[in-house]
Structure 1
Amino acid sequence: MRVLVTGSTGYVGRVVLAELAAAGHLPIPFSGDVRVGSVDGPVDAVVHLAGLGRVRESFGDPVRYFDVNVGGTVNLLRSPPPRFVLASTAGVYGSAGVATIGEDRPRAPGNPYAASKAAAEDVLAWAAAAGRVDGVALRLFNVAGGGDVDDTRLVTRACGAASGRLPPVEVFGDGSAVRDFVHVRDVARAFVTAVERAPEGYVALNVGATPASVADVLASVARVTGRSVPVVRRPAHPGEARELRADTTALRALGWSPTCSDLDGLVGDQWAAELARQA
């Protein structure tokens, strides 16, 4: 299949290109502004990864987030391919209030970034309902490993603190809050699965793999690196969910399963990248 990939030079995009090629597809990198660019030539599917993704930044410039994340999706759907796979976020669920989150959980985004992704999902769902495209929204939980350079993410930040490149990790509360982590390669394989096997119409699918607390992640970094992770303790955020785990039953039913998202392996992969980053 000919698969156009937006955001192909980004953290997830580079791995998606490699996994698509390994699966026998022809990945076509998309360059340019997704709000004004167009699909150049016939393609069988679009994997839409391009967009803005900083939660804190989105509070200061919500209009720009909606312009890029929703406007880019709308533009690409003007002449839709047979299948459109959107990179969304588990942030659409908000604090959720339940430990394990299924795709039928009502969405309640708590920031402009997540709200813009929810809106992009809606555009895709309505386009699919109109019979214009088969659509898939992959709701990514905490993507990690694979040489991530985003120091706002916990695993990357903890490895950077252990190496001395970054200041101590801020731990809010007792560190027992559980989140779901998934290696970027397993995420990329989820996009390949969605391109190849997702059902007709529209579906949203969770992508997660390994529930772990903040304390678990810090312990894993210390275990893998042989170095303690310096921390600064802060009061817990009021209203923070204690556990957010992904129910991935629907994605697994399509044949996907994580192969490299065990916590120590994920941390070890990021630690190797951290050392290379400083070499």
Structure 2
Amino acid sequence: MTEPRHILVSGGAGYIGSHMVLALLGAGERPIVLDDLSTGFRAAVPAGVPFVEGSSGDAALIGELIERYPIEAIIHFAASIVVPESVAHPLDYYANNTVNARAMLACAVAHGVPHIVFSSTAAVYGEPERVPIDEEQPTAPINPYGRSKLMVEWMLEDAAKAHPISYAALRYFNVAGADPQGRAGQSSRDATHLIKIAVQAALGKRPGIDVFGTDYPTPDGSCIRDYVHVADLAQAHLDALRYLRGGAPSLACNIGYQRGFSVLEVIDTVKRVSGVDFEVRLRERRPGDPASLVATNERAISRLGWTPRYDDLDTIVRHALDWERSLSSRAA
């Protein structure tokens, strides 16, 4: 009898990674979580799922895991993600996002792991030539975060040409929300995601919210982003894994809803859904923030077979609020 294959999830104790683990379990897969717990939480890993504390850049550890388990694929989330922080500390981002990914990719090649699903980002496009953004637009990131992710895409592309490995690089737009069943969500107290911060303000966990820039070339002057529900994002990874298993060629693919909301629109939605008003402070622009990032999603739908289920800002906000309330009740 052939031993069941496993899926290694780097960063599987973090926000998106924990939802991925739940999605894999729901699909009958066998995830293994690797996480250094720098931003993730051990409690986010479901009981019974093998967990290893360590770095995605630890080649010896990853090689040991691949030898211990028959790893069929790696879903790589582990990374630093804060754009302004990347501007202030670029070398840290190149180390954690690019150098560590190179170590993991080298292990995959050396041990014959055939598939990689990579957590990329819309930041690889920089200031797009047109909106919505399709995958044929030039990649020209304007901050170290985007550059550190694009370098990994380049490594994957080159490795796939030279070795029997295939990959899907999923370029996320703005991830938000929480598991609809309340099993997982964004737990970091120092999160920088807009909807997370806004629901914390609505629940009195923050003294309000800062809006960085109201002079962008957008209808209300604040940045516009495409907000995608974290459960839909996890499903896109399952779809990408099925796509690669079927022998389809490697690809880079946007994951978004093809619809954008401004920062001020999101804040208004949080106020309306929560029924709570809170202070909004207008600040200067931050470095590295493009005016508008909205995806086209035809490639994800047509090639991966992705079917979003939670394409509704009110729903995303409601799930984020429910999760934030659950965190409060646990802390009480």
TM-score by length of 2: 0.79
**SS at 2:269 equivalent:** helix
Change (3 A) 1:51 1:176: closer
Partner of 2:181: none
CA distance in 1, matches of 2:198, 2:326: 16
Q: What is the deviation of 1:235? A: 4.9
Could you tell me whether the CA contact under 8 Å between 2:6 and 2:73 is conserved in 1? yes
The one-letter amino acid paired with 1:277 is L
For the pair 1:125 / 2:171, whether they are aligned, the reply is: no
Partner of 1:197: 243
Q: Which of these residues, 171, 193, 199, is aligned with residue 153 of structure 1?
A: 193
Q: Which of these residues, 151, 154, 170, is aligned with residue 210 of structure 2?
A: 170
CA distance in 2, matches of 1:63, 1:240: 19
For the pair 1:251 / 2:273, whether they are aligned, the reply is: no
CA distance in 2, matches of 1:268, 1:167: 20
Change (3 A) 1:6 1:154: same
Structure 2: unaligned runs, 5 residues or longer: 35-51, 179-184, 215-219
For the pair 1:49 / 2:99, whether they are aligned, the reply is: no
Change (3 A) 1:78 1:176: closer
**SS at 2:28 equivalent:** coil
**SS at 1:166 equivalent:** coil
For the pair 1:77 / 2:105, whether they are aligned, the reply is: yes
CA distance in 2, matches of 1:203, 1:109: 19
Q: What is the deviation of 1:176? A: 4.7
| Deviates most, 102-111 or 25-34 | 25-34
Q: What is the deviation of 1:126? A: 0.4
Q: Which of these residues, 33, 38, 53, is aligned with residue 62 of structure 2?
A: 38
Structure 1: unaligned runs, 5 residues or longer: none
For the pair 1:64 / 2:104, whether they are aligned, the reply is: no
Q: What is the deviation of 1:77? A: 1.8
Change (3 A) 1:133 1:162: same
For the pair 1:5 / 2:5, whether they are aligned, the reply is: no
Identity of aligned residues (%): 36
| Deviates most, 162-171 or 243-252 | 162-171
1:187-221 deviation line (CA, Å, top 9, x unaligned): 11111111111464421011112421222212211
CA distance in 2, matches of 1:238, 1:230: 23
Could you tell me whether the CA contact under 8 Å between 1:129 and 1:202 is conserved in 2? no
CA distance in 2, matches of 1:163, 1:181: 21
1:59-96 deviation line (CA, Å, top 9, x unaligned): 23222211221122211222321111110111111121
CA distance in 1, matches of 2:87, 2:162: 33
1:102-155 deviation line (CA, Å, top 9, x unaligned): 111111111111111110111111001113310111111100111323531111
**SS at 2:100 equivalent:** helix
**SS at 1:101 equivalent:** coil
Count of residue correspondences? 279
Partner of 2:168: 136
CA distance in 1, matches of 2:325, 2:307: 29
TM-score by length of 1: 0.93
